[in-house]
Amino acid sequence: MSRYTPDPALDLVLERTIPVAPDRVWAAWTEPELLMQWFTPAPWKTVAAELDLRPGGRCVTTMESPEGDRYPNAGCYLQVEPNQLLVFTSVMGEDFRPAAPANGAGGLPFTARIEIEPAADGGTRYRAIAMHAEEGACKQHADMGFADGWGAALDQLVALMS
Amino acid sequence: MSRYTPDPALDLVLERTIPVAPDRVWAAWTEPELLMQWFTPAPWKTVAAELDLRPGGRCVTTMESPEGDRYPNAGCYLQVEPNQLLVFTSVMGEDFRPAAPANGAGGLPFTARIEIEPAADGGTRYRAIAMHAEEGACKQHADMGFADGWGAALDQLVALMS
């Protein structure tokens, strides 16, 4: 896995050591039936996941609000290194086609970088980074509750997979 | 190289068999001192090229008008398969970071796919595809002279490398 140094003005970072082995973290991110169980902080749910796991492959997750409204989020995988690194973006769809604003890219364009490294105790040194084009978009994502939301989802991943 | 079927409503395609070997076509696209000699239809010139040739690597080319005005274009490599396939996009910068509109992504967002296949005579079956998010952007790129511009640049590549 290539190294990446976050830019504090443009990136949001969630970093934690978790008691889940790297291959189990990878499975949680890449197998639809697992991802649907942890990906969205309760009481929201993920009710569908299509994951075409290859660079240029499309990923679509559909979230459902407590009221039953559904919100699909489409993106594209960029780097797929099993048990180590998963990079995807909201600004592209299948085969790296730029996403239309209607696809959600206009709302909050970001690239996510999920780093998975073995920890000493058989667990994982986990780092999730959300990269933005501009400081305003980064702040908007922070204000939307990145730390709480991604942290709560990770809690659910740990509860499911450990 | 994975197959790709263009979408006539969203993609522009330049396809031609050229008397240049695949490895020479690859060199023309990936070595700055070569790229600068053919990339921009005369009387415009390419006066600088920084090519970090890896998925997530930044590519910047600077064009100069006959009047001496300079126009940098930044993008990001997505797939790098030597002598076969080069995919890059204007909607991201280094390490797949979404590009700010000021970077040119707001102007004409597209992903380019350069396919290089051996032809029977030692030449290359060359296919360049520009992929867009929406029909409007595709038509805008066509109206800007995609076919003439990319065709004239390819003529220059052939003249340089054959």
Average pLDDT over chain A, rounded to an integer:
94
Residue ranges of the alpha helices (H) in chain B? Answer: 22-30, 32-38, 135-143, 146-161
Residue A1: pLDDT band by 50, 70, 90 thresholds?
Answer: confident
* Contact A44/B at CB under 8 A: no
Can the peptide bond before residue B43 be classed as cis, meaning omega within 30 degrees of 0?
A: yes
State the ipTM, two decimals: 0.93
Q: Looking at residue A100, what is its pLDDT?
A: 78
Q: Examine the pLDDT at A102 and tell me if it is beyond 60.
A: no
- Give CA–CA dist B140/B129, Å, rounded: 15
Instruction: Mutation target for B interface from A92, A94, A134: give the one with most B CBs within 10 A.
Output: A92
Q: Looking at residue B75, what is its pLDDT?
A: 94
Question: Given an 8 Å threshold on Cβ–Cβ distance, is B131 in contact with A99?
Answer: no
Burial of A159 (0-12, 13-18, 19+ CB in 10 A): exposed
Question: Given an 8 Å threshold on Cβ–Cβ distance, is A98 in contact with B110?
Answer: yes
Sequence-ordered strand ranges (E) for A11-148: 11-18, 45-51, 58-64, 70-81, 85-89, 111-118, 124-131
CA distance A143 to chain B (A): 19
Residues of A in contact with B80 (CB under 8 A): none
* Contact A100/B at CB under 8 A: yes
- The tens place of each residue's pLDDT in chain B, 162 residues long, gives 778 999 999 999 999 999 999 999 999 999 999 999 999 999 999 999 999 999 999 999 999 999 999 999 999 999 999 999 999 999 999 999 999 765 544 468 999 999 999 998 999 999 999 999 999 999 999 999 999 999 999 999 999 999
Residue A95: pLDDT band by 50, 70, 90 thresholds?
Answer: very high
pTM equals 0.94
Amino acid found at B113: R
Residues of B in contact with A79 (CB under 8 A): 55-56, 96
CA distance B76 to chain A (A): 11
* Contact A130/B at CB under 8 A: no
- Give CA–CA dist A6/B94, Å, rounded: 12
Short-list A59, A125, A122, A131, CA closest to A92: A59
The 3-state DSSP class for residue A145 equals: coil
Q: What is the pLDDT of residues A15-64, one digit of tens each?
A: 999 999 999 999 999 999 999 999 999 999 999 999 999 999 999 999 99
CB B139 within 8 A of CB B10: no
Question: Given an 8 Å threshold on Cβ–Cβ distance, is B78 in contact with A78?
Answer: yes
Nearest residue on chain A to B105, judged by CA atoms? A98
Residue A3: pLDDT band by 50, 70, 90 thresholds?
Answer: confident
Residues of A in contact with B133 (CB under 8 A): 97-101, 103
CA distance A131 to chain B (A): 6
- Give CA–CA dist A79/B63, Å, rounded: 30
Residue A7: pLDDT band by 50, 70, 90 thresholds?
Answer: very high
- Give CA–CA dist B159/B152, Å, rounded: 11
Residue A92: pLDDT band by 50, 70, 90 thresholds?
Answer: very high
CB B63 within 8 A of CB B83: no
Q: What is the pLDDT of residues A59-82, one digit of tens each?
A: 999 999 999 999 999 999 999 999
DSSP structure class, residue A13: E
Q: Looking at residue B103, what is its pLDDT?
A: 52
- Give CA–CA dist A20/A38, Å, rounded: 14
* Contact B80/A at CB under 8 A: no
CB atoms within 10 A of CB B107: 12
